[in-house]
């Protein structure tokens, strides 16, 4: 029997991050020694006071349906967090809660895109950005931002790509996979372009806002250009800062007309997010960030270890991340070289496959729209990061420029 799938679902693909992690796990289950540097999931446990809040919520019977836009107490906590940490004011109807930041992004596109509407997506990108656009009938306009510009969008590129069907611009900082962080001057320059195009909405994905290195502090486009707040959606959550990836709680803050429409979308898909997850998120936002400096220091150390190890490897160029969980590596210098078994490396996928055989699992840059690169996560044990750097260096040193006859 033939089974017909929708054109919509055929426009998107399975997450490359998830596929890479599944492959690493499958090899581990066979007994292989694989260092998994595929996903951005903190190796730290959820702080104890947050877990205790979840236990208390269950004991108190807070296990029923929740309001679609989120429990009022949590939305108020997000409102206070945005004022306290981000210096931004939002009315309560402008704040919505969903099953992770990914759903916030999906809901926003579902609520605003018609067929053929365009969304500007700087490359490299988080893979769910263009696929969420495609699934909702839009067309991602990919803007390559390479190593020479620090993987950051320039004002000239932004101006050149805005057209009559442009609906959104996505800005992700710190970037995934690049770790790039826009400076105040860079954000101000982008804001100048946006002011000339008032029809363009801006999605600000700031999920890694507090994971920043070298004494950098969280800075949003809205801190630099508060006049743009009426057409920006700020996306955040608890997964990265609070090591709560499995709790699935994200939030969006934006114009009320947008958040109301997003609530309508969610009411017909998942309805309100988990009651227990929201209780835990409330404790997270109200409990302070006292635990965070130790974790950021660990990520910083891992970044330095991996960047130092890979920067010394002939054939690799490393973009030093300014925040986030990843090190993004250009591997053009390895292409055309030969493995010990005589196989030629022709692409970043070949490089990643070779490194996996050498015991290090990463993700090919093609998953993020930029080749030949690969991404490695530093959200894993420091000893694993150090060993991964050593294994990659050793593996690259064994490559030959010419195949032996």
**Residue 49 burial (CB < 10 Å; 0-12/13-18/19+)?**
middle
- 241 in the same domain as 93: yes
Report if residue 2 sits inside a domain: no
Same domain, 230 and 83: yes
pLDDT of residue 324: 97
* End position of a domain, from candidates 286, 319, 335: 286
Strand partners, 376: 327
- What pLDDT sits at residue 403? 58
Instruction: Pick 31 or 143 by higher pLDDT.
Output: 143
Whether residue 271 sits in one domain with residue 204: yes
Assigned domain for 216 exists: yes
pLDDT at position 405 over 60: no
| Least-confidence region, from 289-293, 295-299, 364-368, 400-404 | 400-404
Model confidence band, residue 1 (pLDDT cutoffs 50, 70, 90): low
Average pLDDT, the chain: 96
Give the angle 256-262-265 at the CA atoms, nearest 5°. 150
Rounded to whole angstroms, the Cα distance separating 100 from 254 reads 16
pLDDT average, residue stretch 167-196: 98
* 14/69 same-domain check: no
403, part of any domain = no
Same domain for 70 and 36: no
Q: What's the pLDDT tens digit per position in 197-212?
A: 999 999 999 999 999 9
d(CA 286, CA 165): 41
Closest Cα to residue 148, out of 347, 332, 375?
332
Evaluate whether residue 188 is within a structural domain: yes
Residue matched to tokens 């599944």: 22
CB-based contacts of 405: which residues, under 8 Å, 6+ apart?
none
User: What range does the domain containing 146 cover?
Assistant: 48-286
- Is the domain of 239 the same as that of 386? no
Lowest-confidence range among 13-17, 26-30, 327-331? Answer: 13-17
Mean pLDDT of 35-64: 97
Whether 54 and 142 map to the same domain: the answer is yes
Helix (H) or strand (E) holding 205: strand 201-205
Domain boundary among 221, 254, 286: 286
Residue 402 included in any domain = no
Examine residue 201 and say whether the peptide bond preceding it is cis (omega within 30 degrees of 0).
no
**Residue carrying structure tokens 């949003």:** 220
Rounded mean pLDDT, 375-400: 98
Least confident of 14-23, 100-109, 134-143: 14-23
Per-residue pLDDT of 61-80, as tens digits, reads 999 999 999 999 999 999 99
Distances 53 to 67, 75, 287 between C-alpha atoms, Å? 19, 16, 11
Residue 1 within a domain: no
CA 190 to chain CA centroid, Å, is 21
Q: Which helix (H) or strand (E) holds 12?
A: none
**127 by DSSP, 3-state: which?**
coil
State pLDDT tens for residues 266-286.
999 999 999 999 999 999 999
Q: Above 70 in pLDDT, residue 404?
A: no
The tally of domains found in the chain comes to 2
Nearest to 23 by CA among 42, 40, 47, 39: 39
The tokens of 154 are what? 């320039």
Q: Between residues 216 and 116, which one has the greater pLDDT?
A: 116
Structure token pair of residue 245: 């990836």
Q: Are residues 255 and 383 in the same domain?
A: no
Q: Is 58 helix (H, G, I), strand (E, B) or coil?
A: helix
* Residue 178 parent element (H or E): none
Mean pLDDT of 242-267: 98
In the beta sheet, which residues pair with residue 202? 169, 232
pLDDT of residue 25: 87
With CA atoms as reference, report the closest residue to 358 among 67, 115, 35, 14: 35
Q: Percent of the chain beyond pLDDT 90?
A: 92
Q: Residue 139 domain-assigned?
A: yes
Residue 213 pLDDT: 97
Q: What value does the mean pLDDT take over residues 50-67?
A: 98
Whether 212 and 332 map to the same domain: the answer is: no
Q: What are phi and psi of 68, to 5 degrees?
A: -55, -45
224: tokens are 């630099």
Q: CA angle, 82 as apex, 79 and 87 as ends, to 5°?
A: 130
Whether residue 24 has pLDDT greater than 90: no
Burial 91-110 (b: 16+ CB within 10 A, else e): eeebbbbbbbbbbbbbbbbb
Helices (H) and strands (E) in the chain, counts: 14, 13
Distance CA 90, CA 96 (A): 11
Last residue of a domain, one of 286, 315, 343: 286
The residue that leads in pLDDT, 195 or 2, is 195
pLDDT (mean) for 349-367? 97
Element (H, E) at 16: helix 16-29
Question: How many CA atoms lie within 13 Å of 369's alpha carbon, on the beta-carbon side?
Answer: 22
Indicate whether 393 belongs to any domain. Answer: yes
Residues 55 and 170 in one domain: yes
Q: Are the C-beta atoms of 249 and 278 separated by less than 8 Å?
A: yes
**Residues 189 and 270 placed together within one structural domain of the fold:** yes
- Look up tokens 């114009």; give the residue: 255
Same domain, yes or no: 226 and 98: yes
Domain at 76, CATH number: 3.40.640.10
Predicted local distance difference test score (pLDDT) of residue 221: 98
Q: Tell me what pLDDT residue 21 has.
A: 85
Closest CA to 11 of 122, 133, 104: 133
How confident is the model over 117-121, as a mean pLDDT? 98
Confidence of residue 17 (pLDDT cuts 50, 70, 90): confident
Percent of the chain exceeding pLDDT 70 equals 99
The H or E element containing residue 128 is: helix 128-135
């Amino acid at each position: 029997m033939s089974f017909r799938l929708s054109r919509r679902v055929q426009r998107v693909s399975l997450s490359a991050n998830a596929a890479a992690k599944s492959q690493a796990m499958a090899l581990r289950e066979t007994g292989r020694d694989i260092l998994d540097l595929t996903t951005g999931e903190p190796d730290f446990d959820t702080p104890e006071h947050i877990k205790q809040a979840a236990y208390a919520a269950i004991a108190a019977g807070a296990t029923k349906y929740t309001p679609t836009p989120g429990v009022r107490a949590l939305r108020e906590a997000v409102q206070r967090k945005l004022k306290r940490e981000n210096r931004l004011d939002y009315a309560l109807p402008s704040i919505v809660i969903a099953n992770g930041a990914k759903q916030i992004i999906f809901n926003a596109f579902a609520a605003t895109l018609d067929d053929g509407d365009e969304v500007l997506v700087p490359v490299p990108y988080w893979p769910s950005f263009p696929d969420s656009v495609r699934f909702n009938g839009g067309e991602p306009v990919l803007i390559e931002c390479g190593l020479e510009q620090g993987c950051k969008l320039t004002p000239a590129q932004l101006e050149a790509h805005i057209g009559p069907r442009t609906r959104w611009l996505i800005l992700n900082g710190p970037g995934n996979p690049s770790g790039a962080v826009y400076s105040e001057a860079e954000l101000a320059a982008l804001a100048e372009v946006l002011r000339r195009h008032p029809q363009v909405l801006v999605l600000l994905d700031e999920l890694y806002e507090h994971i920043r290195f070298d004494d950098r502090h969280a800075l949003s486009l809205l801190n630099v250009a508060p006049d743009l707040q009426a057409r920006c959606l700020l996306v955040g959550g608890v997964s990265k800062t609070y090591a709560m990836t499995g709790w699935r709680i994200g939030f969006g803050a934006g114009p009320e007309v947008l958040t109301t429409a997003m609530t309508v979308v969610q009411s017909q898909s998942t309805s309100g997010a988990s009651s227990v997850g929201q209780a835990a998120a409330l404790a997270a936002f109200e409990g302070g960030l006292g635990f965070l400096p130790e974790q950021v220091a660990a990520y910083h150390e891992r970044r330095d270890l991996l960047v130092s190890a890979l920067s010394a490897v002939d054939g690799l160029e490393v973009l030093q991340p300014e925040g986030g969980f990843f090190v993004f590596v250009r591997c053009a210098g390895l292409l055309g070289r030969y493995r010990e078994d005589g196989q030629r490396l022709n692409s970043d996928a070949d490089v990643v496959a070779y490194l996996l055989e050498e015991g290090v699992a990463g993700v090919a840059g093609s998953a993020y729209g930029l080749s030949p690169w690969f991404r490695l996560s530093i959200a894993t044990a420091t000893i694993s990061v150090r060993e991964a750097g050593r294994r990659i260096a050793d593996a690259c040193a064994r490559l030959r420029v010419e195949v032996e006859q």
